[in-house]
Structure 1
Amino acid sequence: MKSIFSTVVVCLLLTGTYAQPPESYYDNTVGESGYQLKTTLYNIIKGHKEKTYGQLWACFDLTDMKGDTLWDMYSFPPLVGKPNPYYYGYQVTQCGTYKMEGDCYNREHSFPASWFGATKNKKPKPMYTDLFHIYPTDGYVNSKRSNYPFGNADKTELYASQNGSKLGYSSTNKELGKDIIVFEPIDEYKGDFARTYFYMATRYQDKIASWNTNSLYAGQVLDGTDTTVYQQWYLDLLLGWHKKDPVSQKEVDRNNAVYLIQNNRNPFIDSANFVQRIWGN
């Protein structure tokens, strides 16, 4: 009881009191489309309540539990016929050091921190601690993902995790003029990550236009604007993943939990139609 109580105190202090959005939350979006709609959504979800990086460990207990273990999208569920080697109990197996899959979990910036300019001594706020793109993931698999873009590793596989997530070369980005290394999550979570990236494009539209110069990999994905945000090959990828993997109950539950902590929401989970209305054509 003490552990649960302390988690609630840390993560819910000074936050909103609703699990679902108020009925009027999206009223200003009625009749809007395109980048006007994107800006309206930005004004709704900006200014969320920030947590410290250290507090995220406790917040995962409210946002990312599956039974009595943390829900790691990079390694769960294991491939058919393989045992599940993972048990990531709440605040028990935090990284730390690791030598193989299953050793520990960490706080993964699914939108890599280096893309928005984070370094060892620089941790830009509020992006660095925004739970809508930070997930608990296996430390070893996360190290393999590194700062590479998400994508379809359809050419040469370099590594595969226990659940089939893989690192490899992608040949689906012709406008870059070359194959690049990408990390491909399993189909079950592709829509989750696509909607995470649409959230980032919207929540940080006041900053994101300059991020394409922060790293090589950011430059492969971002187009240097605050409207489309992503290069066409990447936008096509995200739209495809969003369509093929619709919003799951996992995302709905997590959206509600993060709302209690940060007092903002991922609009693209609440209404998948927002994606089409902004980027569909």
Structure 2
Amino acid sequence: MKKLLIILSTFSLSASTFSFTVSCSNEKDFRGGTVKLNEISNLKLNIGYVKANTPSLIAITFASKNSGILPKGTTANDFYVTDITDSSALLYGKESSKIFDSKKQYAVNIVFEIKNESLDVPIDYDQLNVGIWNQNSQGFYYSNNSEAEYYDSTKNLSGEALKNELYTISHKNFVTLSYDTAKEALVQTDLIVKDGETFIYGFYDGQLYKPKWEGGQSNDTWNREHIWPQSKFDKSTSRGDLHNLRACNVKTNAVRGNRYFKDSLTSTEKNTIVSSDAYFPGKDFKGDVSRALMYMAIQYKDLNLTNNESLIKPTNAKYMGVLDILLKWHKEDPVDAFEMQRNEIIYKHYQKNRNPFIDHPEYAHLIWENKTISDLLE
């Protein structure tokens, strides 16, 4: 029985409380987490809370539509919490409550037991950060980011001030990649493992492709998709930015072209052309698209997101959108494990910068909707 340790991020208990949920529906792909429920036994879903300096409960339960495989409501205790101030200290595994020290940091860990080798995880990563999420009354989820110090200077900022500070943070150690280097990097950032084999995870269509770059116009190969089209930015500075690049089927890439993004009236599931100017990326990729475009609007000061389609349509215009639709997609298709892991690889191994809207989804609303943290947490 293969086991995969999933670290549900680190957290500090100096604040009040948090709650978190990790969910999976039948045949639903976590893109870096699990593939199909019928290939998994004992999937642990973590639902609980922690309050500083008081006995605090962390409960882990099964939750599945397929009760024959994962009995709904069954309590699981295959988890443990570690004190990362002292990495050798195992706080507890099967206890129901524990008094936590507010001066320390902890990591929640869950064990997935897999029936075979067909679990999708990024290559060379057997510890997958899938996040701890807070949910406000609006139904929006916020991550407790393990890279918290990266964003220290953003505290209490919103609007243009937050946007400018994120620009400063992102450029502090930013490494500009050549277009060829970015091609090589995509083999690592967009890679998954399926039945013991490695594949490239295709953007927009979700299909699996051989990692080897083959070129040409075959349905079986991939190339580099610029989510913010090349025609709409300065290629000399941003062409190889991995946060804007995804591996994509050659023909799918050509069909999308440099269209901007809108909802489709005919399809809410699959990627499709909306009009001669617009494209729908598919329900499983629309959030990824929105966060990539938001990143570009932060990283490059000459790029802007707008609702004005007349500004977007000119081929070389440095506008993308539609902004209100992107904000809606950002909420409807929240950050997933594949995005998180990809963000981590780019930060640690290539560009030394992060996509802030993956780490802090709330930043989108603080910048483009003139919200404050108090507004979002009401």
Q: Runs (4+) of structure 1 moved beyond 6 Å?
A: 212-215
CA distance 1:213–1:166, shift in 2 (3 Å): closer
- 1:257 is aligned, of 345, 357, 361, to 345
- Gaps of at least 5 residues in structure 1 are 1-7, 9-19, 78-86, 118-122, 158-162, 170-179, 223-229
Q: Give per-residue Cα distances to partners, 1:143-177, cap 9 Å, x unaligned.
A: 0111111212326x8xxxxx8210122xxxxxxxx
User: Does the 8 Å CA contact 2:178/2:240 hold for their aligned counterparts?
Assistant: yes
1:110 to 205, 227, 235: 227
Match of 2:294 in 1: 198
Q: Supply the distance in 1 between the matched residues of 2:214 and 2:279 (Cα, whole angstroms).
A: 21
Mean Cα displacement is larger for which, 187-196 or 57-66? 57-66
Offset of residue 269 of structure 1: 0.5
Q: Which residue of 1 aligns with 2:217?
A: 98
Q: Is the Cα contact below 8 Å between 1:49 and 1:262 reproduced in 2?
A: yes
Q: Is the 8 A contact 2:277 2:313 kept in 1?
A: no
SS in 2 for 1:124: helix
> Is 1:89 aligned to 2:210, yes or no?
yes
- 1:26 counterpart residue number: 151
Write 1 or 2 for the structure with the bigger share of helix.
Answer: 1
Q: Which fold has the larger relative contact order, with Cα–Cα distance below 8 Å and residues 6 or more apart in sequence?
A: 1
Q: Report the identity percentage.
A: 31
8 Å contact from structure 2 (residues 181, 240) kept in 1: no
SS of 2:224's equivalent in the other structure is: strand
Structure 1: distance between partners of 2:147 and 2:290? 25
* Other-structure match for 1:38: 163
Matched residue of 2:179: which SS? coil
Compare the two structures and name the one with the higher strand fraction. 2
Partner Cα distance (1:218, 1:240) in 2: 26
Q: State the match for 2:280 in structure 1.
A: 184
TM-score (norm 2): 0.53
Q: Could you list the per-position Cα deviations for residues 175-216 of structure 1 after superposition, in whole angstroms to 9, with x for gaps in the alignment?
A: xxxxx63111111111111011110110112x326xx98971
Aligned to 1:124: 236
Which residue identity does 1:276 align to in structure 2?
A: H
For residues 217-265 of structure 1, give each alpha carbon's deviation from its aligned partner in whole angstroms, at most 9, with x where no partner exists.
Answer: 454x82xxxxxxx67xx11111110011111111100100110210000
Count of aligned pairs: 218
Residue of structure 2 equivalent to 1:82: none
RMSD of equivalent CA atoms: 2.9
Pairing 1:46-195 to 2, within 5 Å after superposition:
46=171, 48-67=174-193, 68-77=198-207, 87-90=208-211, 92=212, 94-98=213-217, 102-117=219-234, 123-125=235-237, 127-154=238-265, 164-169=270-275, 181-195=277-291
The residue matched to 1:187 in structure 2 has which SS? Answer: coil
Hey, what's the Cα distance between the residues in 1 that align with 2:312 and 2:258? 12
Amino acid at match of 1:55: T
